[in-house]
Amino acid sequence: MTAAALDDLGRRVIQAVGMPKDAWEIAAQLEVIGMRDSDARSGYGVRDLFELARAIERRFRAGAYGFTLEGDDPRPHVIPALRFVRRYLAGIAFALPMAMQAAAMLLWGYGIWGAIDLELAQGSAIALGFIASYIAAGGFAQAIVRRGLFYIYQQEEGLARWTALRGFGIAVRVTLALLLPALLVNLLFRILPWPMVLTASLFYAGLTVLWLSWALLYLVHRTELLVVITACALAAVLAAAKLGGASPIVANAVGVIVADVLSFSAAAYFLGRMARKRGNAQPVNPPRLAVLIFSTSRYFVYGVLFNAFLFADRFIAWTTSVGRDDFPPYAFWLNVRYELAMDLALVVVIVMGGMIQYAIERFSEKLVPHEKRTKSADRETFAEEQLDGHRRRSRQLALTAVVALALAWLLLAALTTLSGEPGSQPGSQPADSRSLQEARFHEALTAPVTLRVFLAAAGAYTIFMFAVRNLLLLLTLSRVEAAVRSVAYALLANVTVGFICSRSIGYWAAVLGLVAGAIVMCIVAARETRRTIEELDYSYYAAY
Amino acid sequence: MTLSVLMTTEGTYPYAAGGVSTWCDALLRNTPEVRYILLPIMMNPHIEARFEPPSNVGAIVNVPLWGIEEPAEFAAETTFAELYERKRGTTDEEIEAEFLPPFRAFLDLVNSGTDPAAFGRVLVQLEDYFARRDYSVTMKSRPVWLAFVATMQLFARRAAASLPPDAREHQMPSVFDLTECLRWLYRFLIVLTVRVPEVSVTHTTAAAFCGVPCITAKVRRGTPMIVTEHGVYLREQNLFLSRFKRLFFCKQFLLNLITAVVRANYFHADVVAPVCHYNTRWELAHGTPQHKVRVIYNGVDPEVFVAGAKRSGPPHVVATARIDPLKDIETFLRVAARVRETHRDVRFTVFGSVADQPYYEKCLALRSELGLDGAVTMGAVAEDVVAAYRDADVVLLTSISEAFPYSVIEAMACERAVVASDVGGVGEAVEECGMLVRPRDVEGFATAVRQLLDDPALRARIGRRARARVLEEFRLDHSIQSYLDLYQRLGQSHPRGAAAQAPDARQPAPLLELRA
């Protein structure tokens, strides 16, 4: 065997394998390039291929051959500003329909599930249906999305579709079944009059289907359709009311039905298209129901608690008569001023939501390259750098919060000014025939209680959004227990403080529960997040 | 006494087509006197079965490695309450006290690649642990991650010392390397959560992870174990992971893990029964004692694979091979191009499914580049494989890695002239009844194909000799009888139930699919 011949062969093998693990890997390569034991004997004077491989390995370890390892795939070229805008819009996808409805209410007096001219009893019934549907659908929506995304990542789109639709079907049946005990309780205790209960039930059913359909649209990455569907449903409401002469409650019902049909049809279409894309539309051996329940139960609990947190203060405020001058006739009675203040404060959520989405996506896409660059011996430095990044993102979010608060305040000021000018209110008549409704709107905007609730809610939502950023980060790393803990404590604080304050100070003080809950959520989620980032190497592994 | 056999497969029967599945189905069907428990390790639980196992398969214990969040999802007989209790009972304290000692030993044995006997014992300890504690909670726990990091860093520092300076950096793992490695381990060790009932004999169809339940049965109860190797798993994994150039540490870890598992299979097997002598080179080199090795060739049914006249038409060269880099379809295409330089009317067909989509696309591009779009058909499975052989003038196999391919002996049984690469056990099958060429030798393949196309008498002569050789050496009934003899001999040496008194506190096996 000549050294030159061996090295020629060695270089050929090393070129094929990069850095060889050992002689066995080299031997396998020698076989596939056509070498046989007889060739090893005749050409290189060794007993067999294994001995030849060991000779090459020795030369490699002596540094005789250079080698190259492939680098990472080139990063796709992206324009940072466009990326920011795209993600920001994705972040506010679920808030935009609410904003559109608020705008429609102000401009034309109608939303999809609300109208300026609604009787308060009907408005209260819709509000009750809305809150109940939001909480009831929240757990199912989380579970459907979680399991669906799991299968999409596994490239099992047929299964994703199957589980999503199965989850949807179960969710609809269970949430509708929940109506039965509610109706029974009302039958026994006569809490609300039956027309109100019927209206609440119908809107509960319609809105539950809507939230679940929107979860399906989120699953197929079609959240931009929410804006289109909201616009269509609003158009249907306005057409029914203005052209068809329908009463506000009927127009609202039309709007919800249109939104339901469009949302579910679009979701079913895109789920089907997704499933057919890879030719695996029909799932094989789909998971048992127990598996679905088992694997998504924590996300279900999270969804229920989170949505309950969002509306607990309203429910508490509207179930007391303490401090109310609208003399609620029933156990649950909508308060327009409270609702108006909360809606205006939502500007904070919308503005900050986009920034949070951007921050979370950047965190996710930077994590793996950072892990690849960091030797495991430098894990502590890795954690410190990640914590620095987290603090930097917190500062960015704080800046966004300042902008959001300013925008919310400007909006309140602008509406107050506009509503004070004759002839500028929603659905207004000429200035000389200013309606009672318009006067009420201006009065509601300028009422001290509205300002009080608005300021508290804006503050609470600001703190809450910091918590949401951390919750999303925890969920990204599959730390769902930590997220559940944060929301559970926060809900407890929200309900406890809200209940005590609303029953001792006045109904409006239920918003203090939201403030307390947001603070608790922020503290607990921040602590959990810090702990998670401090051991991010482990957290990322366990997120598998 | 009825013989009961645990048959384990990996990525093959009954969920995939191919040589191993064909062999497995033939063995099960033709040994009705044996009661089988089938344990297929599968990529995910949502794969459609390609074979309907015969009625003597009493139970199928599916073991999906991917496509599930945790193995408990498919533990059909574990109730929600049991699962919950087990999760609650799996705390960091228990993990540190009960799991980490065998886990560290496991990692040390993987990294060192020595002592397959100790490796078998550790597998049993881990299996016992997972019978008591929750798999997912354990494997995703902080103590396990920290133990893994510490052990692998220590290993990396030691291994780096023997490397050239420019290679040392790649030996030291990144955070991502360790994350990937432990995530893979999470998947591969799922096989330790499986519990199977006691049987007379275990039979693994590869010296791979599917052999783990056989190894633990051997260590625990002394159940005789047979390893059948079609391809050489270790060699194939070395080839596969050589493509994995980017993350050296991950490749090294996986190959160390696979090597440890393979050696444990060989060590614990009572009989290692490769399908050709060629395979024994790797088996012996990895510690299999010569006396354990017994070659049992694959066989075909000569009543099914019979000669027949070719339909009229232009000359036709056929390959029956899945579209996979190991089959070297690129060389097939280059050979086609060379042959068509002198024989313009020759058609070429590759019958076989697409196993590697990117590779298939690469082959399609090469076909176009070589101007063969109208001359070469590929990517379709033959509806009638006998008809496919009969329609061929020459059967061409350009693989760079083979064991003892069915495609060769089936073609030989159909009296077709075979040109094949001289890899694995192909030479043992063909001997003088076909033409052997060095792998990737385009010119050599083209010359052999041209020679056969030009000489019908030579083709016919080679074809007749080939069938005679099949009738003598590679009959299905001979092959089946050899396995049955093995089962009976080993089963008699270990009557089922004799070891039932052996200490085993574990629960009865949860079987996913019980059959009548």
pLDDT, position A421: 67
Integer angstrom CA distances of residue B431 from B398, B428, B512:
17, 6, 45
> Chain-wide mean pLDDT for chain A?
92
CB neighbour list of residue A269: distance below 8 Å, 6 or more residues apart: none
| B44–A contact, CB cutoff 8 A | yes
The residue to which tokens 């890899």 are assigned: B423
Which residues 257-296 of B are in CB contact (within 8 Å) with A? 259, 281, 285
Task: Please say whether the beta carbons of B97 and B91 come within 8 A.
Answer: no
Q: What is the pLDDT of residues A257-280, one digit of tens each?
A: 999 999 999 999 999 999 988 776
Nearest CA in chain B to A33: B439
Q: What is the pLDDT of residues A16-54, one digit of tens each?
A: 888 999 999 999 999 888 788 888 999 999 999 999 999
Confidence class of residue A423 from pLDDT cuts 50, 70 and 90? low
Interface test mutation site (partner A, options B148, B176, B426, max chain A beta carbons within 10 A): B176
The residue to which tokens 């010359």 are assigned: B447
- pLDDT of residue B14 exceeding 60, the answer is yes
Give backbone dihedrals phi and psi of B352, rounded to 5 degrees, phi first: 160, 150
Of A285, A286, A376, the CB nearest to B174: A376
pLDDT, position B253: 96
Confidence class of residue B496 from pLDDT cuts 50, 70 and 90? low
Write out the two tokens for A269. Answer: 């279409």
Cα separation of B202 and B199, whole Å?
7
Write out the two tokens for A399. Answer: 């800046």
Task: Please say whether the beta carbons of B438 and B422 come within 8 A.
Answer: yes
pLDDT, position A433: 42
- pLDDT of residue B499 exceeding 60, the answer is no
Interface test mutation site (partner A, options B48, B70, B84, B238, max chain A beta carbons within 10 A): B238
Average pLDDT, integer, range B290-297: 96
Amino acid sitting at position A4 = A
Q: Do A159 and B48 touch (CB under 8 A)?
A: no
Write out the two tokens for B180. Answer: 């990937």
Taking alpha carbons only, the member of B19, B9, B4 closest to residue B479 is: B19
Taking alpha carbons only, the member of A311, A299, A357 closest to residue A338 is: A311
Cα separation of B265 and B244, whole Å?
25
Interface test mutation site (partner A, options B82, B175, B257, B258, max chain A beta carbons within 10 A): B175
Cα separation of A173 and A171, whole Å?
5
pLDDT, position B225: 98
State the CB neighbour count (10 A cutoff) for residue A194. Answer: 12
Average pLDDT, integer, range A120-130: 96
Give backbone dihedrals phi and psi of B230, rounded to 5 degrees, phi first: -85, -70
Average pLDDT, integer, range A134-155: 95
Q: Do B285 and A50 touch (CB under 8 A)?
A: yes
The DSSP line for A305-333 is HHHHHHHHHHHHHTT--TT-SS--SSSS-
Cα separation of B201 and B214, whole Å?
9
Nearest CA in chain A to B43: A154
Which CB contacts under 8 angstroms, 24+ apart, belong to B156-159? Answer: B156/B249, B159/B252
Query: Could you tell me the end-to-end alpha-carbon distance of chain B, in angstroms, rounded to an integer?
Result: 19
Give backbone dihedrals phi and psi of A69, rounded to 5 degrees, phi first: -110, 145
Average pLDDT, integer, range B74-79: 71
A152 contacts on B by Cβ (under 8 Å): none
Cα separation of A277 and B313, whole Å?
38
Strand B271-274 versus strand B225-229 pairing type: parallel
Give backbone dihedrals phi and psi of B353, rounded to 5 degrees, phi first: -75, 165
Cα separation of A285 and A407, whole Å?
52
Which residues 287-306 of A are in CB contact (within 8 Å) with B? 287-288, 290-291, 293-295
A143 contacts on B by Cβ (under 8 Å): none
B239 contacts on A by Cβ (under 8 Å): 28-29, 32
The residue to which tokens 């030989």 are assigned: B412
| B401–A contact, CB cutoff 8 A | yes
| A374–B contact, CB cutoff 8 A | yes
Which neighbouring-strand residues pair with B300?
B475
Which CB contacts under 8 angstroms, 24+ apart, belong to A409-415? Answer: A409/A458, A411/A344, A411/A347, A412/A344, A412/A445, A412/A451, A412/A454, A415/A106, A415/A344, A415/A445
Cα separation of B395 and B408, whole Å?
8
pLDDT, position B355: 86
- pLDDT: which is higher, B112 or A425: B112
Of A31, A283, A375, the CB nearest to B174: A375
B233 contacts on A by Cβ (under 8 Å): none
Cα separation of B248 and A73, whole Å?
16
- pLDDT of residue A66 exceeding 90, the answer is no
How many CB contacts within 8 angstroms connect chain A with chain B?
Answer: 163
- pLDDT of residue B74 exceeding 80, the answer is no
Give backbone dihedrals phi and psi of A470, rounded to 5 degrees, phi first: -70, -40
Integer angstrom CA distances of residue A149 from A135, A217, B140:
22, 12, 21
> Chain-wide mean pLDDT for chain B?
91
- pLDDT of residue B116 exceeding 90, the answer is yes
Distance from CA of A166 to the nearest CA of B (A): 17
Q: Do B239 and A32 touch (CB under 8 A)?
A: yes
| A380–B contact, CB cutoff 8 A | no
Q: Do A538 and B142 touch (CB under 8 A)?
A: yes
Letter string b/e over residues A223-255, b meaning 16 or more CB atoms within 10 A of that residue's CB: bebbbebbebbbebbbebbeeeebebbebbbbb
User: Helix axis angle, A289-317 relative to B80-88, nearest 10°?
Assistant: 70
Confidence class of residue A192 from pLDDT cuts 50, 70 and 90? very high
- pLDDT of residue B506 exceeding 80, the answer is no
Which residues 31-90 of A are in CB contact (within 8 Å) with B? 31-34, 36-37, 48, 50, 60-63, 66-67, 69-72
Count Cα neighbours of B490 within 13 Å in the Cβ-side half-sphere: 25
State the CB neighbour count (10 A cutoff) for residue B20. Answer: 24
The residue to which tokens 């090795």 are assigned: B293
Integer angstrom CA distances of residue A207 from A212, A307, B343, B502:
9, 14, 72, 61
Cα separation of B49 and B68, whole Å?
18
- pLDDT of residue B497 exceeding 50, the answer is no
Task: Please say whether the beta carbons of B276 and B404 come within 8 A.
Answer: yes
Looking at residue A477, the DSSP 8-state letter turns out to be T
| B176–A contact, CB cutoff 8 A | yes
Looking at residue B516, the DSSP 8-state letter turns out to be -
Q: What is the pLDDT of residues B321-366, one digit of tens each?
A: 999 988 999 999 999 999 999 999 999 999 998 988 999 999 999 9
Task: Please say whether the beta carbons of A407 and A471 come within 8 A.
Answer: no
CA gyration radius, chain A: 30
B146 contacts on A by Cβ (under 8 Å): 538
| A17–B contact, CB cutoff 8 A | yes
Confidence class of residue B504 from pLDDT cuts 50, 70 and 90? very low
Of B141, B142, B438, the CB nearest to A34: B438
A66 contacts on B by Cβ (under 8 Å): 166
Distance from CA of A439 to the nearest CA of B (A): 58
Task: Please say whether the beta carbons of A329 and A441 come within 8 A.
Answer: no
- pLDDT of residue A424 exceeding 80, the answer is no
pTM attached to this predicted model: 0.89
Percent of chain B with pLDDT over 70: 95
Taking alpha carbons only, the member of B278, B324, B326, B269 closest to residue B298 is: B278
pLDDT, position B495: 65
| B240–A contact, CB cutoff 8 A | no
Q: Which of A82-86, A105-109, A386-390 has the lowest mean pLDDT?
A: A105-109
